[in-house]
Amino acid sequence: MQSARHSVHVAGELRDLIPRFLANRRVEVEQLRDAIARSDRDAARRIGHGLKGVGGGYGFDEISRIGGEIERSARAGGDELAALAALARELADYLDGVEIIYTT
């Protein structure tokens, strides 16, 4: 069994929201991969922008960081699709490995 690489402390009041929060982020990983496949940088930018804005509020600062990187890479233009693909993988790995500790 793979051990969690990241532990995140989340306020107990958000416990009921977390399953939907994580499910939505997994959907966004797939949407990001689709956008990369279509070379749709604007769609990738919007996904990154949303991730950057939402992650930290729940306590997932790493999601905000990855989202910011996605937004920057998508804006940069040029041959950034490989970098975006790597960030999509990084986000998927993070979601698979994150351990949540609820605080009261």
Distance, CA of 82 to CA of 31 (rounded, Å): 16
Distance in Å, CB of 79 to another protein, minimum: 25
User: Residue 84 burial by CB count (10 A; 0-12/13-18/19+): exposed, middle or buried?
Assistant: buried
Distance, CA of 69 to CA of 87 (rounded, Å): 8
- Comparison of 20 and 78: residue with beta carbon closer to another protein: 20
- Comparison of 42 and 96: residue with beta carbon closer to another protein: 42
Distance in Å, CB of 82 to another protein, minimum: 24
Distance, CA of 11 to CA of 93 (rounded, Å): 23
Distance in Å, CB of 13 to another protein, minimum: 6
Structure tokens at 70: 């996605």
- Comparison of 47 and 88: residue with beta carbon closer to another protein: 47
Residues engaged in binding another protein (CB under 8 A):
11, 13-14, 17, 20-21, 24-25, 46, 49-50, 52-58, 61, 64
